[in-house]
Amino acid sequence: MRDFESYYAAGSAWVARENPYTPALWRHEQPIPGVRADRYEVLPFLGFPALLPLWGAFATLGFSVAAALWAVLTIVLLLGAIWLLLRQLHARDVGSFLSVSALCICFAPLTSAFALGQAALPVFALIVMTTALFVVDPARASSAAFFTALQPNLAVTLLSQIRYRDVALVLGVVALALLVLTPLVSSLADVRAYVSELGAHAASERHALIQFTPGAIAYGFGLSDRASSAVGILSMLGAAAIWLTIMVRRWATRWWRLAITCALLPFGSPFFHEHDFVVLLIPALMCLCSARSRIWSIAASATVLVAIDWLGLAQRPDGAFQSALLAFALLGAIVAFSDQPLRLHRFAGLAALLLIPAAVIAARFPAPIWPDALPAHVTWVRSTLSATWHAELQAAHELAPHPLWASLRLMTVIGAGLLAWCSIRTARTREETASLHGT
């Protein structure tokens, strides 16, 4: 619940009428069980100001109770999302539900998000729910869409539905509600600090080890700051061009538009962590259920690449055996969920086997983990949270470029790119097949 600590502390600061977007946040993180109070390890909070009352409500409870409640809420939302996805895929039998549940347990971005208490996981579930509700109940869709603002960098995937008039109205109402609510629950100083920290924080960890953006990975391979920034900009422009091209196509149906957007998101976002890849469960499940032949085998391999915590092989070398077991359990879940011939599964098996040499090499070059890599009894207090966070990352050696660590992160990003391609091909093929059957 490391990330939930930040949400909880921000709620506590808001209740105490302190600004959660300043170094004052540390005073509210210090008393939380598990936090090392003898060193300055503040984790910044970047949540939308309009949702501070939600975190304030959690902060009125003891931390252990609040964390347990958050975990239960997350699981309930996740189960609801799985059920809705399976319903959309016409796979509502018990076997499919158990197979997908097993796949989720083996999907590292999901388990990482759950372990951290990350808002990315419930927001992923809310994105699925919002998309399903757009068709049948716009009012409830508005409520679900409102809370996706807990993780704005994932909530932008709902823009994939903007071409539908009812959706545009819902998203407009939600945006207006967030804007109106913000000054009612936060002071002007809080809002100014939030806007300032948002850009500054992204800049402070632009090249950090925990970033999975193409620009950060390019920097990890040794490119200069300017060259890696150029890679990031070109990636964003390319992803935006592909996205805009797809969104105007008639064959891009509501759910495929969402799937393709989720798969392209790592290439178009300036801020993307490992747990954010949880949204790629949508294109992964849709491709595993709908793709055929060669496209299916590539989609299965891509799912394996995204599901494995490649960077974790360097950050936690003693967990390599566990990662291997989870990878092969993932293959079992894919086999159980799919109706494709077993011969097509060999490519996914080869992708999983890459874990063995990767783990052997990664063990020789262990990567640091924040906050464990921070030296004790040292203070990095700066005038802003973003500057303090940058100093912490430097002290923990998380800003040092390293080709191996960049290669490990690249494996996950390659999986995302393959899922984007498979989603586009599958959506087009299904529409062409439907048109032929219609004629």
* Cα dihedral value 200, 204, 209, 215, nearest 10: 70
pLDDT at 382: 67
Residues constituting the chain:
439
- Give which of 410, 40, 388, 383 is closest to 205, Cα–Cα: 388
CB distance 102 to 333 below 8 Å: yes
pLDDT at 186: 80
pLDDT at 179: 86
pLDDT at 309: 94
pLDDT at 381: 67
| Distance of alpha carbon 306 from alpha carbon 111, whole angstroms | 13
pLDDT at 436: 52
Angle at the Cα of 407 from the Cα atoms of 405 and 413, rounded to 5 degrees = 110
In this prediction, the residues of the chain whose per-residue pLDDT falls under 70 are 377-382, 431-439
pTM of the complete model: 0.91
pLDDT at 339: 80
| Distance of alpha carbon 44 from alpha carbon 311, whole angstroms | 22
CA atoms within a 13 Å half-sphere pointing along the CA-CB vector of 369: 10
pLDDT at 58: 95
pLDDT at 184: 86
pLDDT at 7: 94
pLDDT at 55: 94
pLDDT at 346: 79
pLDDT in tens, 227-266: 999 999 999 999 999 999 998 888 888 899 999 999 999 9
